[in-house]
Amino acid sequence: MSFTTNKYDACIAGIYEHPLRVAPNHTVAQLHAEVARGALQDAGLTLDDVDGYFCAGDAPGMGPVSMADYLGLKKLTYLDSTDTGGSSYLTHVNHAARAIATGQCKVALITLAGRPKSEGSSGTQVRSQWASAPDFAFEKPYSPAPLNTYAMCAMRHMYEFGTTSEQLAWIKVAASHHAQHNPNAALKDVLTVDDVLNSPMIADPLHRADCCVVTDSGGALVVVHPDIAKTLEKPVVTMMGAGETTKGQMGGKVDLTYSGLKWAAPLAFKEAKLTPEQIRYASIYDSFTITVLIQLEDLGFCKKGEGGKFVEGGQLISGKGKLAFNTDGGGLCNNHPANRGGMTKVIEAVRQLRGEAHPAVQVPNLEFALASGIGGALGTRHGASVLIMGRLQ
Amino acid sequence: MSQVNQKNSEHSEHRLPSPIANPENKPFLDAAQIGGLLVKHCNTCNQAHYYPRTICPHCGSDDTTWVKSAGLGEIYSYTVMRRGVEVPFAMAYVKLQEGISMLTHLTNCDFDSIRVGQKVRVVFQETQDGQKTHLFEPV
């Protein structure tokens, strides 16, 4: 049985998530190399097999030029350094799959790593990479940062739809239920709704516990041609559909209630010939609880404005709720390497499809999985990307 | 919270970072210096836009002109940045009467009384390098 079409034939054959969450004695390049080696070993391949390389803004120096030299990649025929913040790696998988499908490479390596924890990064601060943006000339006086811009999305969602802090808290609670089973998770304690609401208010209406963790870490993926996937030992996870876009302030016609996934998700579902009702596991980018809520709506898991009702009562907890999400604990509890959560979203989706998630959170007999990401700032300008994957039976 | 609001109303010891001057936004910053809020209007598609560009982001025309905004609007959304910053502040998107929203700060108000939909008007405040920038206060 094959899920794929000729125009979109590629498989995710290797995954690796760095076990560290604090890495003060590593260089960023070293972390990239360690995750690259880990993902290639997981696939049963070597650096010598790699002919496509993908990295984003977290890579040091001149992106793929610096990193290919550091890693010792000698056979590259395809490079991509698309940077849409934390959603970059979902986009890289899509681009790698298209490049493989059109014969431009056969083994694509995607790496991510960074040390924001050791470097003292915080979501309350203005991101240095935003400084040269044309908008920043106007917006610099107001210190737009991840926390305050996402907080304004939450505030507007509450105003328009009656979404509550308790409903947002359920997203963190669900992630914490999953993280307790992950020995590498940055936060392993199971939280209650009250725990979230009693954590300090950082930027109204977002509490500290509405935020993801800041971690030094990394991850890597290997995307390969199906002919290569067939020769490898791991269960074959194949690409079925993808969509990507950006959304900004639209020349001043600001609408904070939806993300670019409103436009990108239908592309992915159409290509995969699936509907949201057929998805039982989803990795949903979780920089903040509100990020998850808005994506759930835009992906079509519920109607716009009904995300709060969708998540409350533990509906995202694996084995309990209607949709298992982020069973590794997500960015909210497990890992948000380099302040970029897209890589770990793909990794956990692949673990689920292979049946390699922790037994306490593994979704049984999973055929399809989705991973989605928001990069940059949902409240100002962001990249939005979504992948739908399947397991070849 | 009273301590937070007091700090905000004084603003004496803490100035906001300055906007970044460039050839494209000089008229905007010059107007702010004398208390005027400019937005860009496109003569081709007849729509205003913000932040201002030479080429209209709605239709791609370069027939854009600066127009003075009435400086009146309402709060589309906001947040109070309470922690992790030197001085707490209230950030907002204010939707102008001209129909476009701008990222800004709210001032001269009790942060705990701010509400979405509240009517506001523009005020100008000196930033670190002396350039003035727009903020909004409740009407």
* pLDDT tens digits, A154-197: 999 999 999 999 999 999 999 999 999 999 999 999 999 999 99
User: Does position B2 have pLDDT exceeding 50, yes or no?
Assistant: no
CA distances from A131 to A127, A140, B94, B104 (A): 7, 8, 22, 17
User: Does position A18 have pLDDT exceeding 90, yes or no?
Assistant: yes
User: Does position B11 have pLDDT exceeding 90, yes or no?
Assistant: no
Q: Is residue A186 part of a domain?
A: no
What confidence tens digit (pLDDT) does each residue in B73-109 have?
A: 999 999 999 999 999 999 999 999 999 999 999 999 9
Closest CA to B41 of B105, B99, B127, B125: B99
Q: What is the reported pLDDT for A392?
A: 86
Q: Which residue has the tokens 């942060």?
A: B111
Separation CA B45–CA A151 (nearest Å):
33
Q: What is the reported pLDDT for A195?
A: 98
Q: Do A256 and B77 touch (CB under 8 A)?
A: yes
Q: Which residue has the tokens 């999973």?
A: A366
Q: Which residue in chain B has the smallest CA separation from A155?
A: B77
Name the band, by pLDDT with cuts 50, 70 and 90, for residue A7.
low
Q: Which residue in chain B has the smallest CA separation from A141?
A: B17
In the predicted model, what is the mean pLDDT of residues A58-73?
Answer: 97
Q: What is the reported pLDDT for A8?
A: 63
- Give the range of the structural domain holding residue A321, as residue numbers without chain letter: 6-119+212-391
Contact assessment for residue A45 and residue A107, using Cβ atoms and an 8 Å cutoff: yes
Q: What is the reported pLDDT for A268?
A: 98
Q: What is the reported pLDDT for B8?
A: 47
Q: How many helices (H) and strands (E) does chain B have?
A: 2, 8
Separation CA A64–CA A324 (nearest Å):
35
Q: What residues does B132 pair with on adjacent strands?
A: B126
Residue A124 sits at the chain B interface (C-beta within 8 Å): yes
Name the band, by pLDDT with cuts 50, 70 and 90, for residue B13.
low
Q: What is the reported pLDDT for B7?
A: 44
Name the residue facing A138 among B19, B58, B116 (closest C-beta).
Answer: B19
For A338: left if phi > 0, alpha if psi spans -120 to 50, otherwise beta; the answer is: left
For B67: left if phi > 0, alpha if psi spans -120 to 50, otherwise beta; the answer is: beta
Token duo for residue A282: 């989803």
In the predicted model, what is the mean pLDDT of residues B118-135?
Answer: 98
Separation CA B127–CA B133 (nearest Å):
7
Q: What is the mean pLDDT of chain A?
A: 96
> A225-229 — which CB contacts under 8 Å span 24+ positions?
A225/A9, A225/A10, A225/A11, A225/A100, A225/A106, A225/A107, A226/A4, A226/A9, A226/A10, A226/A11, A227/A106, A228/A11, A228/A13, A228/A45, A228/A106, A228/A107, A229/A11, A229/A13
Q: What is the reported pLDDT for B9?
A: 46
Separation CA B59–CA B42 (nearest Å):
8
User: Does position A381 have pLDDT exceeding 90, yes or no?
Assistant: yes
Token duo for residue A340: 């970029």
Q: Do A140 and B17 touch (CB under 8 A)?
A: yes
Q: Report the residue of A125, A126, A155, A157 to disrupt the B interface, i.e. the one with the largest count of B CBs within 10 Å.
A: A155
How many structural domains is chain A composed of? Answer: 1
Separation CA B123–CA B37 (nearest Å):
9
Separation CA A45–CA A208 (nearest Å):
41
User: A382-391 and A237-247: which strand pairing?
Assistant: antiparallel
Name the band, by pLDDT with cuts 50, 70 and 90, for residue A130.
confident
Contact assessment for residue A342 and residue A330, using Cβ atoms and an 8 Å cutoff: no
Q: Is residue A139 part of a domain?
A: no
Name the residue facing A135 among B49, B51, B100 (closest C-beta).
Answer: B51
Q: What is the reported pLDDT for A6?
A: 46
Q: Is residue A200 part of a domain?
A: no
Q: Report the residue of B1, B42, B91 to disrupt the A interface, i.e. the one with the largest count of A CBs within 10 Å.
A: B91
User: Does position A145 have pLDDT exceeding 60, yes or no?
Assistant: yes
H helices present in chain A, as ranges: 28-43, 64-71, 88-101, 136-139, 146-161, 165-179, 193-198, 226-229, 261-272, 289-299, 307-311, 342-354
CATH classification at residue A11: 3.40.47.10
Name the residue facing A136 among B20, B53, B101 (closest C-beta).
Answer: B20
Helices A289-299 and A261-272 sit at what angle, rounded to 10 degrees?
50
User: Does position A69 have pLDDT exceeding 50, yes or no?
Assistant: yes
Q: Specify the range with the lowest mean pLDDT, choosing from A1-10, A121-130, A327-336.
A: A1-10
Q: Do B79 and A143 touch (CB under 8 A)?
A: no
Q: What is the reported pLDDT for B5?
A: 44
User: A60: how many CB neighbours lie within 10 A of its CB?
Assistant: 16
Name the band, by pLDDT with cuts 50, 70 and 90, for residue A229.
very high
Separation CA A18–CA A28 (nearest Å):
12
Q: Is residue A363 part of a domain?
A: yes
SS3 A361: coil
Q: What is the DSSP secondary structure assignment for residue A288, as one 8-state letter?
A: B
Separation CA A107–CA A97 (nearest Å):
10
Name the residue facing B57 among A125, A153, A251 (closest C-beta).
Answer: A251
Q: B-chain residues within 8 Å CB-CB of A137? A: 19-22, 24-25, 51
Q: What is the reported pLDDT for B4?
A: 46
Separation CA A23–CA A36 (nearest Å):
17
Separation CA A315–CA B38 (nearest Å):
48
Q: Is residue A177 part of a domain?
A: no
Closest CA to A265 of A90, A32, A19: A90
Q: Do A252 and B99 touch (CB under 8 A)?
A: yes
User: Does position B10 have pLDDT exceeding 60, yes or no?
Assistant: no
Residue A103 burial (CB < 10 Å; 0-12/13-18/19+)?
exposed
Separation CA A96–CA A94 (nearest Å):
5
Q: What is the reported pLDDT for A77?
A: 98
What torsion do the CA atoms of A330, A249, B130, B84 make, to the nearest 10 degrees? -20
Token duo for residue A287: 């920089």
Phi, psi of A231 (to 5 degrees): -85, -5
State which CATH number among 2.40.50.840, 3.20.20.70, 2.60.40.1110, 2.40.110.20 fits the domain covering B2-138. 2.40.50.840
Q: What is the reported pLDDT for A9?
A: 83
In the predicted model, what is the mean pLDDT of residues A116-123?
Answer: 94
Q: How large a percentage of chain A has pLDDT more than 70? A: 98
